[in-house]
Amino acid sequence: MKFIISGGGTGGHIFPAVAIANEIRRRQPDAEILFVGANGRMEMTRVPEAGYKIVGLDITGLQRRLTPQNILFPVRVFRSVRKAGKLIQEFRPNAVVGVGGYASAPVLLAATSRGIPSLIQEQNSYAGLVNKLLGRRVSKICVAYDGMEKFFPTDKIVLTGNPVRTEIAHGSRAEALQFFNLDPSKKTLLVIGGSLGARTLNLATAVALPRLREAGVQLLWQTGKIYFPEARQQAQSYAADRLQALEFIQRMDLAYAAADVVISRAGALSVSELCLTGKASILVPSPNVAEDHQTKNALALVGKGAAVLITDEHAPTRLYDEALRLLAAPDRQQQLSERVRELARPDATTAIVNELFKLIKK
């Protein structure tokens, strides 16, 4: 069997895509899997690192203001759909999966116009415009939240949850503390701004370093590429054995295992990982996303007493007050942990691939 998996742009799209590919290959070791991404985006390096071939399309997003890129946007879409069609004709997939991101739409358009079984994996609680339009064309839509019938045809929706690397929930705390050179007698705070970093979280964390040091709190800080050089300089003023400032954390299983409290953006992947690992968390939704979908993701947890929400606007003044209060309140941490774990869907990847294989058998 042959499969095309399209999309990317951020870890929130890429890691679920790789999880789906891994599950396909586990069931069908001889399956041929081709990824299609956007040239210049992180999937072009992350996917080959995971052991899969990827082809890039010359496609970008539509900017919110008038720019030269916007003028060229229709041309790039046309070329990308044409190239995607050629890829599909040559590769002849049994089914196509779209996980969101710039490359997802041209591939799904090309696949559905040729009658190839197709599936959207919608990670967020609020579907973007492209997925809403494509939802009318694809065969099946796997979602992570209730109430998605307001975006998609009801008969196509399957509630599966988001694909998450299940090993992320099985990190050993003892191994984690040793790996990151942390003191087991001290509280540990994990700050993750998503795979690309988060300016607000990074700036608030930098300002809070003296307070964290005074409180005896250890810090694991994923900065992202842009802020990393500055964070590394700032870290020199912090006790070296209590701080790990990292551009990107490869061993997230150990990072979660080490953490008592997590500060995070509210992307779909981050929220799903927090549910699976059962971590007490403070969510700071990014304001720079379509339809403010991260706030909606966060509210899905907050409404069930499973997380704390601080807006991006209030993060500079309130984030670390709340973080220090939560670190000093183990009972509240336990309550958040129990409630967020109830929302986990550890079998999401299996359920999605089940739906994919059903489409092929029809």
- The string of DSSP codes covering 150-171 is GTS-GGGEEE------GGGG--
Residue 162: CB atoms within 10 A of its CB come to: 27
The domain 2-163+346-361 is placed in CATH, from the list 3.40.50.2000, 3.40.50.2300, 1.10.1060.10, 2.40.50.100, at: 3.40.50.2000
Q: Quick one: pLDDT at residue 235?
A: 77
pTM of the model: 0.84
Q: Which of 310, 330, 329 is nearest to 320 (CA)?
A: 310
Predicted local distance difference test score (pLDDT) of residue 290: 76
- Give the alpha-carbon dihedral of 350, 354, 360, 362, to 10 degrees: -170
The answer to whether 2-163+346-361 and 167-341 have equal CATH topology is yes
Rounded distance between C-alpha atoms, residue 153 and residue 121, angstroms: 14
CATH number of the domain at 167-341, please?
3.40.50.2000
- pLDDT 10s per residue in the chain (362 long)? 999 999 988 778 898 999 999 999 999 999 999 999 999 889 999 999 999 999 999 886 554 555 555 556 667 777 888 999 999 999 999 999 999 888 899 999 999 999 999 999 999 988 877 888 899 999 999 999 989 999 999 999 999 999 988 889 999 999 999 999 999 999 999 999 865 668 899 999 999 999 999 999 999 999 988 888 888 888 776 665 688 888 989 899 999 999 999 999 999 989 999 999 999 999 999 998 878 889 999 999 999 999 999 999 999 999 999 999 999 999 999 999 999 999 999 999 999 999 999 999 87
The residue extents of the domains of the chain are: 2-163+346-361, 167-341
